[in-house]
Structure 1
Amino acid sequence: MVPLLKIAVEGCGHGSLDIIYSALEKSCESKGWKLLDLDFLIICGDFQAVRNERDLNCMSVPSWHRKIGDFHSYYSGEKKAPVLTLVVGGNHEASSYLSELHHGGWLAPNIYYLGTVGILRYGPLRIVGLSGIYHSTDYTKPRQERLPYDKNEIRSIYHVRECDISKVLQLRSPIDIGISHDWPRRVEWFGDHKILFARRPHFLESVRDDRFGSAPAEQIMNHLRPKYWFSGHMHIKFTAKVQHKDNVDDILKDLEVPNELQAHIPKSMFSAPFRGDSQTRPPNVTNTVTNFLGLDKPGPHRDFLEVQEVTSCSYSEEDSAKPWMERTPEGRFTLHYDEEWLSILRSSDGGATTAYEPPEISLGDSEVSDTSAASRSLDWVQANITAKGLLRIPENFEKHAPVYDPNDQTNAKDQPDEFPNTQTEAFCTMLQIRNGFSVGEGDDEGSDNLVFG
């Protein structure tokens, strides 16, 4: 029997962890739950992991909107998150810190960042996280932003890239939960769009230009068909049930759109966002409906938090003996790496290259064979990581940047130094891939152009 898990979902964090955790306790009480009953909390971007004032200079927000927030208290150890907290990045982030954890890692004890893109397991649940927002002009560019960021890089660093999405599209097994900051493209048509556009008329203006929502998030959602998808960014609560089609060009075909709205829908809205996106989905992905929930940011009279029970559509009886189904003495599941995702990262050397080449991806069955690079990489992962008991994500958080001190204004207007993160180094060593964001490796190569592409 598939376990029923209790989770909480928060829209945008905006550096307000104290408010979120306080509201979370009250939300649990309203359900008759205790905070300890929760398996985890999801925060859908704009988390703002600001360790000190220099991190503020790496956030794409006007100077008068920058605030230190309360994350630094959790980073320093003064406070600890009362529930396991899973985080993706948004467009208002301390990118200096998140860039250290390209493959994911602990931002603070009990607060885990899923990385630029990432897949992990928690008991029967398989979760994909997509950080940042979609901006078409940067989508095909490599990741090469390094500290200190110029005025363009401070924005481009959080733009979603094809080189990351291409790895997710290599997944062949189903996903239970998808998390992104901006909403997947076209999701608005599967909920009460009439009320949505009445409350937010400027949303309809974006729809007219087919600029509303994330095309890569839609692509991933259509490919993997998770049972649940959670987002923030739009600062409004919205629910939808996305009915999937084998041909994504038909995704809006059977929807009843009022005549007054049909005139606002461009023809491009009725087709897949990227060429080749109508190819066959992975045969193991059989779910047909994705339950979407978008939430607001913290504040009075805002719908920014929801607690609910979820179950898995990816779990099978064979999974019952898998390492990620083991429970702690307290009866809880713990975070584990995902074998298939590790194999994809290993086969691409983590995505670290010195030149970007657009990926060639086939979504059909023919590329899966016993002799394929992906299959060999999975065999390696199972022999060298799973068999050695290394799938469980270690609790190896370490502080690298100085802790916030309100009395220390030294270099407060400068961007921080680039800190090599020991978690990223340990992850790359375990997987035997290059650490593309290692300061030392970049120096050894003698190149300023080491990028993820």
Structure 2
Amino acid sequence: MELSSVSGIKVAVVGCGHGELDTIYATLEVECEAKGFPLSDLDFLIICGDFQAIRNELDLNCMSVPHKYRKLGDFHKYYSGAAQAPVLTIVVGGNHEASNYLFELYHGGWLAPNIYYLGAAGVVRYGPWRIAGISGIYNPRNYHKPHSERLPYDRDDIRSVYHVREYDVERLLLLRSPVEIALSHDWPAWVELFGEHEKLFAAKPHFLASALGDSLGSKPSTELLGHLRPSYWFSGHMHVKFSATVEIGEGLGINDVLRLLDDVPDKLKPILPRPSVKGKTPTASLSATKTEFLALDKVGSPTFQWLEVRDLECSPRADSAAPSPKGTGTGKFSLTYDEEWLAVTRACASGLRIADPETLVVAPSTTAMTKVSAASVDKERKWVRESIVEKGLLTIPLNFTAHAPVHSPDLAVVPNMQPLEYPNQQTAQFCELLQIPDKFTL
């Protein structure tokens, strides 16, 4: 299949997974058949956080969830190999996760066969489509901090570990090529004002209270929305289905987008945002003028609220590093690394600050994010093209291994006992591919 002949893909989107993989896949099969095609025709499934990749009972104690609500869920079967994901599944993290496991895969990787986590932040390709994601939720108290959390987590760590960090947002803001699909767990702040916000606030009065207090949604995600301008943005977290269309013009930055909100009715003007984030003007290459935003509910609500199957139409781009289909006649593409994102990751590698697992001390950064220039990314992109692209190494390897104990009824777990921190070979191999330090090694 030629890239120039590709005009759309079949995609399913789930809001919050909450560990209900069996229900998700079974319901998805029914929904696909109702639309007149088999599940095997679906290109991929997106889950917008609270995925809950719990491998065993120990992982439950690394979740920020009250004890009475903690449950093992279905993922352990997919991790152990007892079950197989029937469709490529792409996920971001939320605020109710086995954060210890996601932290092992900070740069992204396979949580289980056919289930790919985008990392704390990440960009991958499915054929000509670029998919960008940011994991966690925004909390201004921890936004500018490094990751000081290492196992065992204390009461504060178990919450702060899933908070979005400026480092990851700044990396995504270095992108200069178009992104078709973007994922986050919490909504971009103020995106509700581009949809039927009056109905939303009437149904969810506490949303209005949060909006009036300027605390509804993620301001960094708004900045990313204004910069990346993807064709589609999907989120979960708020446990409600909501859509909006954000229309922006050529050359507009996020502050320009926010000024468009002056057109809302007078009675809503008291909640107009006063942005505290610095706006960035996107480059001309990020030329989309409309983003379709869709948020979905959690599994367990009526199906139409938490699951949507749809055809996504994007304009394919025959630029560098576009991969080939998996096999003749399949119509499916392999998931691949993104050339520009690999270059950004290399350019920013020395700025990643996490705690040493033995001393729990965070070393000072040798590269401030503000010093990572477009020229630095261009230099690293040349290295990526020569060292990875031209050597045919862009396809994401199917290198999942189950290195943590799989679920067993015989596993004795003391209340609040936490697991060991496991070195993840996917992270080690990714760092080796990019020739950057593996700061997650033990």
Residues 125, 311 of structure 1: 8 Å contact kept: no
Q: Distance in 1 between matches of 2:350 and 2:107?
A: 9
251-260 vs 6-15, which moves further: 251-260
Shift of 1:64: 0.5
Choose which of 221, 226, 236 in structure 2 pairs with 1:222: 226
Matched-pair contact (CA < 8 Å) for 1:325–1:333? yes
Instruction: Tell me how far apart the structure 2 counterparts of residues 254 and 168 of structure 1 sit (CA, whole Å).
Output: 24
Q: CA-to-partner distance for each residue in 1:113-132, whole Å, 9 max, x for gaps?
A: 00000000000110101000
| Residue aligning to 1:336 | 336
Please name the residue that 1:309 is paired with.
311
Partner of 1:288: 289
Q: Distance in 2 between matches of 1:361 and 1:227?
A: 29
Provide Cα deviations, 1:287-333, integer angstroms capped at 9, x if missing partner. 010000000001142510000111324x32345xx442444233310
Report the CA distance shift for 1:283/1:28 in structure 2 as closer, same or farther (over 3 A).
Answer: same
For 1:41-440, list aligned pairs within 5 A: 41-245=45-249, 246-255=252-261, 256-263=263-270, 265-266=271-272, 269=273, 271-275=274-278, 277=279, 279-302=280-303, 303-313=305-315, 315-318=316-319, 322-329=321-328, 330-349=330-349, 351-353=351-353, 354-356=363-365, 359-360=369-370, 368=374, 372-411=375-414, 413-439=416-442
Q: C-alpha distance in 2, partners of 1:169/1:221?
A: 10
Relative to structure 1, the CA distance from residue 247 to residue 167 in structure 2 (aligned partners, 3 Å threshold; closer, same or farther) is: closer
CA distance in structure 1 between the partners assigned to 2:154 and 2:233 by the alignment: 33
The one-character-per-residue Cα deviations of 1:45-78 (angstroms, maximum 9, x if unpaired) are 0000000000000000100000000100000000
- The alignment's TM-score, normalised by the length of structure 2, stands at 0.92
SS of the residue aligned with 1:348?
Answer: helix
Letter in 1 for 2:189: R
Q: Distance in 2 between matches of 1:377 and 1:89?
A: 28
Structure 2 vs 1, CA of residues 427 and 350 (structure 1 numbering), >3 Å: closer, same or farther?
A: farther
> Residues 282 and 272 (structure 1 numbering): CA distance in 2 closer, same or farther, change over 3 Å?
farther
State the distance in 1 between where 2:76 and 2:198 align: 41
Correspondence for 2:359 = none
Partner Cα distance (2:88, 2:325) in 1? 17
Provide the rounded CA distance (Å) in 1 between the counterparts of 2:281 and 2:302: 44
* Residues 377-428 of structure 1, C-alpha deviations (whole Å, 9 max, x = no match): 1111111111111100000000111011123224464100000000000000
Distance (whole Å) between structure 1 residues aligned to residue 346 and residue 266 of structure 2: 50
Quote the offset at 1:349 in angstroms.
2.3
Q: Contact 1:352–1:434 (CA<8 Å) still a contact in 2? A: no
Task: Provide the C-alpha distance between the structure 1 equivalents of 2:11 and 2:371, rounded to a whole number of angstroms.
Answer: 34
Runs of 5+ consecutive residues of structure 2 not aligned to the other structure: 354-362
| TM-score for the superposition, normalised by structure 1 | 0.90
CA deviation map 1:204-229 (0-9, x unaligned): 00001110011111111110100000
Q: Is the Cα contact below 8 Å between 1:352 and 1:435 reproduced in 2? A: no
Structure 1 CA distance, aligned partners of 2:253 and 2:100? 40
Give the superposed CA RMSD.
1.7
2:12 counterpart of 1:12:
no
8 Å CA contact 1:53–1:412 kept in 2: the answer is no
What letter is aligned with 1:292? F
**Aligned-partner residue type, residue 298 of structure 1:** V
Report the identity percentage: 52
**How far apart are 1:282 and its partner, in Å?**
1.3
Q: How many residues align?
A: 423
- Which residue of the partner structure matches residue 40 of structure 2? 36
Q: How far does residue 358 in structure 1 lie from its aligned partner after superposition?
A: 5.1
How has the CA–CA distance of structure 1 residues 350 and 333 changed in structure 2, closer, same or farther, with 3 Å as cutoff? farther
Whether the 8 Å contact between 1:124 and 1:312 is mirrored in structure 2 is no
Q: 1:22 is matched by which residue type in structure 2?
A: A
